[in-house]
């Protein structure tokens, strides 16, 4: 009886989308919204708040891209994805970009045919244990029960680490971060392992964060960044350079507060090229000339986004560490806007 709903839905989709073209940029502009894949819920990185609005460090990247492409940071449809569903959603075109703390690896880049567009967070896998266990190093974890999120690189890193150190462990695979948290807090596992940032975010949500310690060992390199489909280089460039614009903005001291003022023209040619008062970088990418201004206004520069969502003053409380600007000893290094 309700066949019509289905048919009407199909008809509706057909009417709004029309004939989809291969270029993601055209699709996004025709649609008027950006479909962005995010985590199902990781405090600080991507989680819906009580009002149901998505917020977080990864979400800010989506907003910046939407602002750059469409001029409106709120024109984003968030699609929450698990470790398992994220790549299929991207490959099938359900989302335009994936911003879900995804580790850049050889296999994913080359074999699974995705394109990593820069790195917005340098991370590494770590371990968290209750302080009362008295463990001070990961090498003391022989025989431990370890909670782990399935479908991530952490599973393989963990197996490698324990094998190379000749230790035994018992994995407890868990689907979501919330459930892992619960298992860990109840003592069903001794150790929780995931990316260092995820550990900090998880610990921040605990009642007594100080009762848990994050061990010093970092057993893997986890460069996290936004991902797009392989083959659409124009779209990849837009996502990549939007991210770089945020990083460069911090380097040059462009903030959401002064961007309007600076966009009227400055003495610095770099800032002028970034903000579109000099050159036509926006048009070259198929965007408006004030794309970077919009992106920066959406949530501030890289440093502001970091500070607001996961910085030391937030419950997550991450220090910049590797993610500081290269001028301050970190790895954040935007190529020149030239």
Partner 1 sequence: MTSVTEPPRESFRLSMLLNDKRYRFYTFQFVALLLLIVFMAYLGWNLVRNLAILGQDISFEFLGTPAGYDINQSLIPYENQDPHLRASFVGVLNTLLVAFLGCVTATIFGVLAGVLRLSKNWLVAKLMAVYVEIFRNVPVLIWILIIFFVMTAALPPPSAFRGDDPSSTMLFDAIALTNRGVYVPKPIWGAGSGALAAVFLASIAGAIYYRRYATRLLYATGRLLPMVWPTLAILILPTLAAYALLGGPVTLEYPELRGFNFQDGIQIRGSLIALWFALAIYTGAFIAENVRAGILSVSHGQTEAAAALGLRPRRVMSLVVLPQALRVVIPPVISQYLNLTKNSSLAIAVGYMDVTGTLGGITLNQTGRAIESVLLLMLFYLLISLSISAVMNLYNNAVKLKER
Partner 2 sequence: MSDTHAEAAQLAFVRQEPIPPAPPPVAEAGIVKWLRDNLFSSVPNAILTLASLWAIWWLLSSSMPWVFNGVWDAGSLRECREILDGATGACWAVVRERWAQLVFGVTYPEEAYWRPATAFVLLFVALAPVLFPKAPRSLLPFTAVYPFLAYFLVWGGSVWVPVMAAAGFVVGYLVFQRLVAQSFAMGFFGAIAAALVFWWVAGFVTPTLTAIAPITLEAVESRNMGGFMLNLILGTVCVSLSLPIGIALALGRQSGMPVVKWICIVFIEFIRGVPLITLLFVANVVLAYFLPPNSTFDLILRVIIMITMFASAYIAEVVRGGLAALPKGQYEAASALGLDYPQAMRLIILPQALKISIPGIVNVAVGLFKDTTLVSVIAMFDLVGMIRGPILASTDWNGVYWELFGFAAALFFVVCYGISQYSQWLERQLQTDRR
Region near partner 2 per CB under 8 A, out of 16-24, 140-148, 274-282, 322-330: 16-24
Between residues 18 and 265, which has the closer beta carbon with respect to partner 2? 18
Closest CA to 282 of 242, 325, 253, 222: 242
Site string for partner 1, 71-100 (x = CB under 8 A): ------------xx--xx--x---------
Between residues 94 and 170, which has the closer beta carbon with respect to partner 1? 170
Find the binding residues for partner 2 in span 116-175 (CB under 8 A). Answer: 175
Between residues 167 and 204, which has the closer beta carbon with respect to partner 2? 204
With beta carbons less than 8 A apart as the criterion, state whether 238 and 25 touch.
Answer: yes
Q: Which does 29 bind (CB under 5 to 8 A by kind): partner 1, partner 2, none?
A: none
Alpha helices in 74-165 (DSSP H): 86-91, 106, 153-164
Closest CA to 129 of 219, 169, 189: 189
With beta carbons less than 8 A apart as the criterion, state whether 105 and 89 touch.
Answer: no
Between residues 9 and 159, which has the closer beta carbon with respect to partner 1? 159
* 106 binding partner 2? (CB under 8 A): no
| Cβ within 8 Å of residue 136, ≥6 positions away | 215, 216
* 94 binding partner 2? (CB under 8 A): yes
Name the burial class of residue 198, with classes exposed (0-12), middle (13-18) and buried (19+) by CB atoms within 10 angstroms of its CB.
buried
CA dihedral 173, 176, 179, 184 (to 10 degrees): 60
* 315 binding partner 2? (CB under 8 A): yes
Between residues 114 and 337, which has the closer beta carbon with respect to partner 1? 114
* 204 binding partner 2? (CB under 8 A): yes
Find the binding residues for partner 2 in span 22-51 (CB under 8 A). Answer: 22, 40-43, 47-50
With beta carbons less than 8 A apart as the criterion, state whether 98 and 37 touch.
Answer: yes
Find the binding residues for partner 1 in span 158-187 (CB under 8 A). Answer: 158-160, 162-163, 169-175, 182-183, 186-187
Between residues 154 and 197, which has the closer beta carbon with respect to partner 1? 154
Strand partners, 325: 332
With beta carbons less than 8 A apart as the criterion, state whether 25 and 96 touch.
Answer: no
Phi, psi of 158 (to 5 degrees): -60, -50
**Of 71, 75, 91, 268, which one interacts with partner 2 (CB under 8 A)?**
91
Closest CA to 224 of 66, 83, 337: 83
Between residues 50 and 166, which has the closer beta carbon with respect to partner 2? 50
Q: Which does 155 bind (CB under 5 to 8 A by kind): partner 2, partner 1, none?
A: partner 1
Cβ 187 to partner 1, closest distance in Å? 3
The structure tokens 């709903």 sit at 5
Terminal Cα-to-Cα distance of the chain (whole angstroms): 61
Region near partner 1 per CB under 8 A, out of 103-111, 198-206, 238-246, 317-325: 103-111
* 79 binding partner 2? (CB under 8 A): yes
Q: Which residues bind partner 2 (CB under 8 A)?
A: 1-15, 17, 20-22, 40-43, 47-50, 52, 77-82, 84-85, 88-89, 91-94, 175-179, 181-182, 185, 204-207, 315
Q: Which residues bind partner 1 (CB under 8 A)?
A: 83-84, 87-88, 91, 107-108, 111-113, 132-133, 141-145, 150-152, 155-156, 158-160, 162-163, 169-175, 182-183, 186-190, 229-231
């Amino acid at each position: 009886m309700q066949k019509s709903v289905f048919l009407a839905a199909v008809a509706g989709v057909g009417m709004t989308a029309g004939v989809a073209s291969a270029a993601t940029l055209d699709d996004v502009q025709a649609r008027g919204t950006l479909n962005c894949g995010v985590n199902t819920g990781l405090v600080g990185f991507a989680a819906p708040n009580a009002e149901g609005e998505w917020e977080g460090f990864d979400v800010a990247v989506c907003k910046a891209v939407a602002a750059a492409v469409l001029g409106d940071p709120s024109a984003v449809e968030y699609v929450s994805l698990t470790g398992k569903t994220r790549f299929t959603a991207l490959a099938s075109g359900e989302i335009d970009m994936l911003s879900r703390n995804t580790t850049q690896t050889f296999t994913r880049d080359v074999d699974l045919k995705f394109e990593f567009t820069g790195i917005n967070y340098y991370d590494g896998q770590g371990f968290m244990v209750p302080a009362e266990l008295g463990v001070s190093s990961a090498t003391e974890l022989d025989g431990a029960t370890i909670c782990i999120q399935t479908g991530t690189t952490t599973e393989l890193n963990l197996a490698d680490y324990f094998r190379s150190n000749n230790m035994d462990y018992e994995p407890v695979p868990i689907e979501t971060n919330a459930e892992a948290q619960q298992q860990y807090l109840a003592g069903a596992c001794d150790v929780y392992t995931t990316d260092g940032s995820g550990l900090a975010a998880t610990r921040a949500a605990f009642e007594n964060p100080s009762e848990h310690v994050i061990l010093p060992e970092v057993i893997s390199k986890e460069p996290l960044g936004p991902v797009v489909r392989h083959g659409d280089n124009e779209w990849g460039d837009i996502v990549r350079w939007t991210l770089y614009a945020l990083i460069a903005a911090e380097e040059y001291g462009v903030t959401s507060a002064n961007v309007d003022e600076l966009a009227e023209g400055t003495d610095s040619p770099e800032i002028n090229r970034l903000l579109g008062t000099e050159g036509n970088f926006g048009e070259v990418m198929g965007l408006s000339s004030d794309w970077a201004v919009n992106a920066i206004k959406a949530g501030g520069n890289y440093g502001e986004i970091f500070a607001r969502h996961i910085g030391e003053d937030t419950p997550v409380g991450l220090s910049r560490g590797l993610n500081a600007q290269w001028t301050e000893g970190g790895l954040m290094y935007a190529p020149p806007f030239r």
